[in-house]
């Protein structure tokens, strides 16, 4: 099967053959492509980037993201958890707002500064 690697701008077109449990990957320009292909077939993961509500009228939203990739099927669960928050305290880039969101081992971190 064919897969486009999304790790870097090269967007290599990967060609994947399944040999029983093993995967043969070709078309990649670096190791990350193999890792990506393996994950994508077995357990696709994504980073979720979104915003969170704040209490400031002038900046009512603060951008956040998961600090690691999370299982693709948990994207909307993660969104739900993030949407429950309202940021009221000083926050800087990288601050954790939710630890281990939805049991994914990824944290929700701020990607911009708030009141900072």
Rounded Cα distance between 112 and 60, Å, is: 13
CB of 23 to another protein, least distance (A): 18
CA distances from 12 to 69, 88, 99 (A): 20, 43, 34
What is the CB neighbour count within 10 angstroms for residue 79? Answer: 12
Q: Is there binding between residue 70 and another protein (CB under 8 A)?
A: no
Contact status: 16 vs another protein (CB under 8 A): no
Residue 77 found at the interface with another protein (CB under 8 A): no
Residue 26 interacts with another protein (CB under 8 A): yes or no? no
Among the listed residues 15, 65, 71, 77, the single contact to another protein using CB under 8 A: 65
Q: Which residues contact 114 (CB under 8 A, 6 or more apart)?
A: 54, 56, 59, 62, 87, 89, 90, 91, 92
Q: By CB under 8 A, tell whether 63 contacts another protein.
A: yes
- Contact set with another protein (CB under 8 A): 4-6, 8-9, 11-13, 46-53, 55, 57, 59-61, 63, 65, 72, 75-76, 79-80, 83-89, 93, 97-98, 111-113
């Amino acid at each position: 099967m064919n897969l486009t690697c999304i790790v870097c701008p090269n967007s290599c077109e990967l060609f994947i053959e399944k040999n029983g449990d093993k995967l043969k990957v070709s078309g990649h320009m670096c190791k990350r492509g193999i890792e990506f292909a393996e994950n994508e077939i077995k357990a696709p993961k994504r980073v979720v980037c979104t915003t969170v509500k704040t209490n400031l009228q002038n900046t009512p939203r603060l951008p956040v993201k998961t600090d690691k990739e999370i299982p693709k099927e948990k994207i909307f669960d993660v969104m739900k958890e993030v949407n429950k928050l309202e940021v009221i305290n000083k926050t800087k880039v990288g601050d954790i707002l939710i630890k281990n969101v939805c049991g994914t081992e990824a944290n929700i971190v701020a990607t911009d500064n708030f009141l900072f």
